[in-house]
Amino acid sequence: MDVRELHPWPATPAEAEAIQDRLRPMLELDVPGPAAPRTVAGLDVSYAGDGGGSGDRLAAAAVVLDAATLEVVEESVAVGTAAFPYVPGLFAFRELPTLLEALRALETTPDLLVCDGFGIAHPRRFGLACHLGVLTGLPSIGVGKTAFVGAYEQPGPRRGDASPLVDGGETVGRVLRTRDGVKPVFVSVGHRAGLDAACRAVLALTPEYRLPETTRRADRLSRDALAARSG
């Protein structure tokens, strides 16, 4: 699939922040998003070593699922090294080159990208899902395991219960319960997708587990790729 080249690679945090500032106006946040996506791609990155994202070697996976059956349509994985130091708020720059390599190898252009991370629920309102959405032109959302920014009240205990994620007086996402009595996930829009559509997609992708099937399968693929390289 096609990915646009919109900026040179930054060498410093100041250059990375400038790129975020330049690309942010390109976001389309008033678009409702795909009502019934046919294909959904999950994106995830695994790191060698401690697994906390502080190592250099990583594997990025893109797994395209049929949205109706959740069967794998296509998958791609790329192994590389972190392209930027670990700086809070600039984490996407560590992973983007390898993620983009995995995306470019796909023959399928998915209707929706689901990132293991954040969209506008980010200090600069430009997380990984935003960046990938602008570079690909595709609807994109972020699904985080924990909150990065913002305050919220716990949603109700049942699947589908939700509460706003608010930062600086702005609703930047939604805290969504995907399983009864299980910790919620943190959904935020990235590009060309509304929050209601994003949450519908996440619930459709979580028929059995807390995390979307897109994330679970991309995580497994990236981990397997690292294991194969180290074996």
Structure confidence by residue, pLDDT tens digits, 53-103: 455 899 999 999 999 999 999 999 999 999 898 899 999 999 999 999 999
* Residues 6 or more apart in contact with residue 209 via CB below 8 angstroms: 178, 179, 216
pLDDT band of residue 212 (cuts 50, 70, 90) is very high
Residue 224 lies in a domain: yes
Residue 137 lies in a domain: yes
H or E stretch at 163: strand 162-167
pLDDT in tens, 125-173: 999 999 999 999 999 999 999 999 999 999 999 999 999 999 999 999 9
pLDDT band of residue 51 (cuts 50, 70, 90) is very low
- Give the chain's length: 231
Is there a contact between 187 and 195 (Cβ–Cβ < 8 Å)? yes
* Residues 6 or more apart in contact with residue 150 via CB below 8 angstroms: 121, 165, 166, 167, 172, 173
pLDDT in tens, 112-122: 999 999 999 99
Is there a contact between 202 and 160 (Cβ–Cβ < 8 Å)? no
Residue 20 lies in a domain: no
CATH at 113: 3.30.2170.10
| Entry pTM | 0.93
Residue 24 lies in a domain: no
Number of structural domains in the chain: 1
Instruction: Give me the domain span that covers residue 47.
Output: 40-207+220-230
Residue 141 lies in a domain: yes
